[in-house]
Amino acid sequence: MHSIQSIIGDYKDFVSNLLMCLMEKNIEINNYQIDHLCYRTKTLDEYNSMKKNIMLFSKAYVENVHHGRPITKFILIKPLKYKNYSIPLIELPSPQKNIVYNSGLEHLEIVVGDNFNILKNKYKSIWTGSDDSGAYNQTIFIDFNEHKVKFHQYSLLEVLKLENRKFTKI
């Protein structure tokens, strides 16, 4: 059997590079958790293939429509490990019409809890943008070339529970 790394790529290098980018911007995240990694695909066929492959390493998943296209979130059997971080989820959005993404790991998301507004204001001059993805999923983010780091108040798992999304066990 393949490893999850053979499916999604060198996630340790991906996380390491983005954490280094945050350090260079003096954004302190030591007290926060990395909630999940996002893997983008170029085509719907690739999305369906990656979905099957990631499912082999997952104990449950939920697929819902977000921004007009399906997105699958996987709870991994074994969380991804990087230093002190344990990353329990992978998010796999299908491609959006008229937007082309490179295939591969695209962003990681960090949960900051009640410090969300403090963080938002403290670093407001360096944020690339924000996103309103519903009542429980406000996002601020910073781009680093074709990758980004997003910050949330709640974990993706908490958001899905608050939205009454039901996971399918594998």
* Domains of the chain with CATH codes: 4-169 (3.10.180.10)
> For residue range 31-62, what is the model confidence (pLDDT) as tens digits?
899 999 999 999 999 999 999 999 999 999 99
**pTM recorded for the entire structure:** 0.93
Q: What are the strands, taking DSSP E only, across 16-103?
A: 33-40, 58-66, 69-82, 85-93
Q: Can you give the pLDDT at residue 1?
A: 58
The DSSP string of 75-90 is EEEEEEEETTEEEEEE
> CA nearest 72: which of 36, 118, 100?
36
> CA nearest 18: which of 127, 138, 147, 156?
147
